[in-house]
Structure 1
Amino acid sequence: MVTFGNVNTITMKNLLFFVLLISAQFTHAQMESQPITEFAGFDSSTEILIDVRTPEEFAEGSIDGALNINWLSDEFNNQVAVLDKDKKLYVYCKKGGRSLKSQAKLKELGFTHVIDLEGGYDAYFSKK
């Protein structure tokens, strides 16, 4: 066993694991969401609504004012790069899977306030 002063490598590994675990919890805690059925619109001067479905899905219906930026496109990162990082982003997809993934990617790209609209367009459309 290798030791550093009074601290052995097992203790160091445990400490590193603990720090990583806490970091992951903190990152997860920063993720915000709200049910899409409670979404009452957005203020385009301070907020952006992004529909991350495919253009074909978007053409079948969308929430008024939404930008279509396809999560499955190779151009996703380039298309969101032009958006204002100071604005609050609302993100939705068909059911919630792609929007959750895109929320994490947007956070990684430096957007600070990203809200996943849980349930997706299917839930939104069914409440109408």
Structure 2
Amino acid sequence: MSIFSTLFCSKSDKDNIIKVLDILEFKAQTQSKKVQLVDVRTPDEFNSGHIQNAINIDSSSEEFNLEFSKLNKNEAVYLYCRSGARSKRCANKLAGMGFMKIYDLRGGILNYK
């Protein structure tokens, strides 16, 4: 295996690891369950309202990698942001960090309410 393939997932690998869920699927998989649910918006956005039981790891924080390294890479992680752009970027980053099951909320929290 080359160093390139170790550091980067191919598009087909990411398609198997990252799934974008619609609101109904996302709610069904996260509500009333203990999951790794992460809001990747800023702390101010998070404090203005977030999905119950979510933790906040700011996508632009210098602590991003450190905070995500505390999560279990073998368990599913559910991501959302405001509209879906930041969580999509984070999902790709997490796939490169070795997370195996990543679920991204289509349309972000704007779609959730």
TM-score, scaled relative to structure 2 = 0.82
Contact persistence 1:33–1:117 (CA under 8 A): yes
Q: Identical aligned pairs, as a percentage?
A: 37
Contact persistence 1:37–1:123 (CA under 8 A): no
Q: Which residue is 1:97 aligned to?
A: 85
Distance 2:45 2:23 in 1: 17
1:33 has 2:20 as partner: yes
Say which of 70, 73, 78 aligns to 2:66: 78
Q: Which residue is 1:107 aligned to?
A: 95
Deviation string for 1:44-74 (max 9, x for gaps)? 1xx2100000000001100000010000111
Tell me which of the two structures has the higher relative contact order, counting C-alpha pairs closer than 8 angstroms and 6 or more residues apart.
2
Q: Which residue is 2:5 aligned to?
A: none
5 Å matches for 1:1-128?
24-30=10-16, 31-40=18-27, 41-42=30-31, 43-44=33-34, 47-125=35-113
Distance 1:37 1:76 in 2: 28
User: What amino acid is aligned across from residue 61 of structure 1 in structure 2?
Assistant: G
Name the Cα RMSD after superposition. 1.6
Unaligned runs of 5+ in 1: 1-22
Q: Aligned pair in 2 of structure 1 residues 93, 37: CA closer, same or farther (>3 Å)?
A: farther
Distance 2:52 2:94 in 1: 22
Unaligned runs of 5+ in 2: 1-8
How many residues are treated as equivalent by the alignment? Answer: 101
Distance 1:100 1:80 in 2: 15
List structure 1 segments (4+ residues) > 4 angstroms apart after TM superposition: none
